[in-house]
Structure 1
């Protein structure tokens, strides 16, 4: 198949061969244009990278420079340069795949095609991902049927993705297919849905280009294409962006689900449980509205506590909050409309009017994890705010989330008596900090700090700090607490009653690890 017709399998194989031969990779491109140009690209400026590639018009690096200029930077290249960069596929083959057009001796990009690298539980990997041209290449606002490439939200979700092997996974709203590709690494079978036929075609192209054959692509809205099916893992970066339902406001397929406010997120949360197998987990990015003086978590809690979601475990993490105007500005710029223009001002006015009419003052953004219990009632209901940057740690949160779920299940299924008999060790990424005023004999504050995961900090008292310090897997919880009670000259039963809830919390958060 091809994007606008029929694309033969052999043409994709030829393209793959050429990309490998040109060393079309993240590291190789970065080596050509350097750190300064890479930083400029991150800010949306391509001129430094274009200038850097000028030095590579000939020589062994010329094919890589040509492909980078054409497909990553969105700039025209001479036809003869493209022919040299794609010797197996050829320019006619590139035209046939819908990658380029030719005009006046130049090849013009029709798609963005770039390398994408990652590291997951199986190790490092790299793919080539095709998507529609961005605003940098188009020089204008995006069309409403734009198929987005790999962006910050995509990388956030892929970093959050649980990676335990499963038989089946669902990518809800697949877009260019990046989450389906990630899911294919740990799922025997993946179903990827989208309301956009063009998105599905690009996603299928990306799967074929990267030799991934276990993804079934289906056209339809949300869960409609998988009615009656259940999955062990559901992932979704749904079109959750809150958009005014006003004339003249673009409704982008990749981000706008056509509902009012945060109703789409509510709908996904309400429906997800119907498609989860026992023990199955759904993970999605989401946002939620703050109304008046109300707390958005009350709103989210209402979604979780009522209807079909009530039987699910739930863990919601709010990572950021934007006031209504800032939220509007973010997504207007995302569509390629620049501040300082009449169009930008009109769109901002429409957004602010919509929020004001519904008494929305701010919007929170974060992650939602839902799980259907294997048996019995839900045991996990956690809504928390963890604002601020996680830096490089966010990319590896999937492994941490999996470990945290397992730790929660262990402690939730362990009685107090069993916990007292258990052996615990301190996680290797945990450090202890002590702070004191100059001249004081003892510390005024003691903090446990997590190096990985969510980078949590816990301010702890003398007894809890002493307990954690003694957790080396040799003594039981009860024996350590008894020894601390003797040292502090306090009642052992009372100290046990005080410490056990805190110990359970430290297990949930990954500070303490049960000895198998």
Structure 2
């Protein structure tokens, strides 16, 4: 059994949090000033788990920003007098009362990290202070079972994936340190943030106070229990979806392990979420799903969703059981050099073998309680993506538009380019491709007729006029050309290459 933290949980207090925020603001504890203080290379090294370059860069600096950087960003004890000088509004006693530090002799030892976190969303660029538990570097050892993670890779992925819609009520299920609730709160009247961990809720509430966000209601409980009978316009979740053996001796970290067998947590969410969606409401989550005995994980996931619900699943990667086990064993701080590695690996592989698991997929799931013909998209995308939330929103809008038929006029999306490949000496291209510069960065092959159609979509001519002109140009019957082009055009609209005209 993995030990729990011996550090206290935060004690949110709006007055003390406001005082701390005032001191942090006065010290300019922000990402850019910190990078300027210790250098970009040292800052990047911290992201790889190395703090020595930062310590060398600020070794002789006793200024306020350096003191707070060592205390909150690196998690290192600092002289009490220096901390008192750096936090004149809150004071050391106030910091201790918030549960963020303790006094040991004439030093202040941090109980938590408190780092600036930049974000970019549809509303602009900003930055928050995010408190979380001390990490492996600060602890110089493995994480405790009740560790509250800061803003990690999965958090950033979900933040980029959430559809940027204005809503009245939103739910962040499994809020952790609260980063998703803070993001969603920018576009919601009210947000309910839930977690099974009271420690996580304490951090999430403290982070809301530090950043002046007041429209979040924090509730304790598992899955949808805290919101029984309630419905939301938007549900987001970065749940503890990591598949972990239910075997004695295997660490169970609250931030990543939901306590269920296999991918049952993701299945539970997907099956339960529709009952909590308003008409037009959207639910989004990250998750893992298992391929078992010839049935793909994507097929299993699709079977969990009622046929009358919109479903869009994007699988970003798929790992073998061995690769998956190694990934998460290393994530817990155990390497092949450690004696515990082989027993853990054996437990993981035995667990997968018991269910006939052949692969584990990871990706995004979007559900919507829509109107009309349901959207059902289940796909794999391995290429780099960007601004996924906006791309998902555009895809949903395109589905709704196409349900009423093709628009009369179409425009080429501004990020679309065309590439033509010719063999030496040839006048006509052997391959024509359309490429997206953003979103899902899709590349599709097209023939000369479809390329000509797309090239003419500038809003001046209708779809019918363009197809008629192409029929004359290629000297083919209009009905035949339309039968060939119409499904291809719909596909380009669906994927965002073409957008409705005015």
Relative to structure 1, the CA distance from residue 408 to residue 354 in structure 2 (aligned partners, 3 Å threshold; closer, same or farther) is same
Q: Whole-Å Cα distance in 2 between the matches of residues 338 and 504 of structure 1?
A: 50
What pairs up with 1:249-398 in 2 under 5 angstroms? Answer: 249-304=250-305, 309-373=306-370, 375-376=371-372, 378-390=373-385, 393=386, 396-398=387-389
Q: Deviations over 1:387-438 (max 9, x none)?
A: 1333xx2xx2212211221122101222xxxx2x611110111000011111
Q: Contact 2:22/2:89 (CA < 8 Å) preserved in 1?
A: yes
Question: How many residues are matched?
Answer: 496
Question: What's the TM-score, normalizing by structure 1?
Answer: 0.93
Q: Deviations over 1:277-317 (max 9, x none)?
A: 0000001001111224442222122222xxxx332100000
Q: Whole-Å Cα distance in 1 between the matches of residues 353 and 19 of structure 2?
A: 54
1:96 positional shift = 1.1
1:9 positional shift = 2.4
Relative to structure 1, the CA distance from residue 183 to residue 448 in structure 2 (aligned partners, 3 Å threshold; closer, same or farther) is same
Q: Whole-Å Cα distance in 2 between the matches of residues 333 and 82 of structure 1?
A: 35
User: For residue 4 of structure 2, what is the aligned residue in structure 1?
Assistant: none
User: For residue 225 of structure 1, what is the aligned residue in structure 2?
Assistant: 226
2:471 paired with 1:485: yes
User: For residue 33 of structure 2, what is the aligned residue in structure 1?
Assistant: 28
Greater mean alpha carbon deviation, residues 327-336 or residues 254-263: 327-336
Q: Whole-Å Cα distance in 2 between the matches of residues 276 and 107 of structure 1?
A: 47
Gaps of 5+ in 2: 1-6
2:9 paired with 1:14: no
Q: Deviations over 1:110-166 (max 9, x none)?
A: 001100111111111111001111111111111111111100000010111112111
What pairs up with 1:151-166 in 2 under 5 angstroms? Answer: 151-166=152-167
1:56 positional shift = 2.6
Q: Contact 2:12/2:202 (CA < 8 Å) preserved in 1?
A: no
Q: Contact 1:53/1:69 (CA < 8 Å) preserved in 2?
A: no
User: For residue 446 of structure 1, what is the aligned residue in structure 2?
Assistant: 432
Q: Whole-Å Cα distance in 2 between the matches of residues 8 and 194 of structure 1?
A: 19
Q: Deviations over 1:443-494 (max 9, x none)?
A: 1111100011011111111111110000000111111111111111111111
Following TM superposition, where does structure 1 have runs of at least 4 consecutive aligned residues deviating by more than 4 angstroms?
2-7
More helix by share: 1
Q: Whole-Å Cα distance in 1 between the matches of residues 133 and 47 of structure 2?
A: 18
Q: Contact 1:3/1:201 (CA < 8 Å) preserved in 2?
A: no
Q: In angstroms, what is the RMSD of aligned CA positions?
A: 1.5
Q: Whole-Å Cα distance in 2 between the matches of residues 195 and 7 of structure 1?
A: 18
User: For residue 498 of structure 1, what is the aligned residue in structure 2?
Assistant: 484
